Amino acid sequence: MPLFTVIIPSYNRAALLRQTLKSLDAQTFADYEAYIIDDGSTDATPEVFAEFAGRRGWHFTRFEVNRRQGGCRNYAMEQAAGDYITFLDADDLWLPRRLEKFAELIKKNPAAGFIFSNGYVLRDGRLTGKFFDERRAVPRGKLPPHMAISDKWLPYVTTNVAFKKAVLAKTGPFRTDMSHLEDMELYVKILRDWEADYLAEPLSVYRIHALSANPASLTLKWDDGVADFHKALETAAAGPEAERELRDYVYLKQAEVYLKNLQPGKARAYLFKTASRGPAFLKLLAGTFLPRPALSLLRALYGLKRKAAPAGDAAMAEAEAWVKKLEL
| pLDDT tens-digit map of 60-118 | 999 999 999 999 999 999 999 999 999 999 999 999 999 999 999 999 999 999 999 99
Q: What is the DSSP letter of 141?
A: B
Nearest Cα neighbor of 180 from 126, 232, 123 is 232
What is the predicted pLDDT for the residue at 224?
87
CA 29, CA 32: separation in Å to the nearest integer? 8
Backbone angles phi, psi at 260, to 5 degrees: -65, -25
Give me the residues of the chain with pLDDT under 70, please.
210-220, 302-311
What is the predicted pLDDT for the residue at 241?
95
- Alpha helices by DSSP H, 109-178: 168-171
Distances (CA, A) of 24 to 21, 55, 56, 90, 255: 5, 11, 12, 11, 36
Max distance between CA atoms of the chain, in angstroms, equals: 60
Q: What is the DSSP letter of 310?
A: P
Residues 90 and 225 in one domain: no
CA 258, CA 223: separation in Å to the nearest integer? 10
Nearest Cα neighbor of 327 from 18, 37, 46, 96 is 18
What is the predicted pLDDT for the residue at 217?
46
Residues 255 and 169 in one domain: no
Pairing mode of beta strands 195-208, 93-94: antiparallel
Backbone angles phi, psi at 309, to 5 degrees: -65, 145
Give how many domains the chain has, as a whole number. 2
Q: What is the DSSP letter of 62?
A: E
Q: C-alpha 84: how far from its chain's center?
A: 18
CA 131, CA 206: separation in Å to the nearest integer? 9
Distances (CA, A) of 107 to 101, 103, 125, 134, 267: 10, 6, 35, 21, 45
What is the predicted pLDDT for the residue at 211?
52
Residues 180 and 240 in one domain: no
Residues 125 and 260 in one domain: no
Helix H or strand E segment including 195: strand 195-208
Residues 62 and 148 in one domain: yes
Q: What is the DSSP letter of 263?
A: -
What is the predicted pLDDT for the residue at 190?
98
Residues 59 and 205 in one domain: yes
Residues 165 and 243 in one domain: no
**Dihedral (Cα; 18, 23, 28, 29), 10-degree rounding:** -80
Residues 152 and 243 in one domain: no
What is the predicted pLDDT for the residue at 318?
95
What is the predicted pLDDT for the residue at 213?
46
Cα Rg, the chain, nearest whole Å: 20
What is the predicted pLDDT for the residue at 298?
77
In 3-state terms the chain splits into helix, strand, coil percentages (rounded to 5) of 45, 20, 35
Residues 284 and 246 in one domain: yes
Residues 159 and 273 in one domain: no
Tell me the sheet residues that pair with 117.
199
What is the predicted pLDDT for the residue at 218?
41
CA 271, CA 284: separation in Å to the nearest integer? 8
Residues 281 and 225 in one domain: yes
Residues 175 and 240 in one domain: no
**Dihedral (Cα; 14, 8, 148, 220), 10-degree rounding:** 20
Domain containing 227: what range?
Answer: 218-307
Instruction: Supply the CATH number for residue 127's domain.
Output: 3.90.550.10
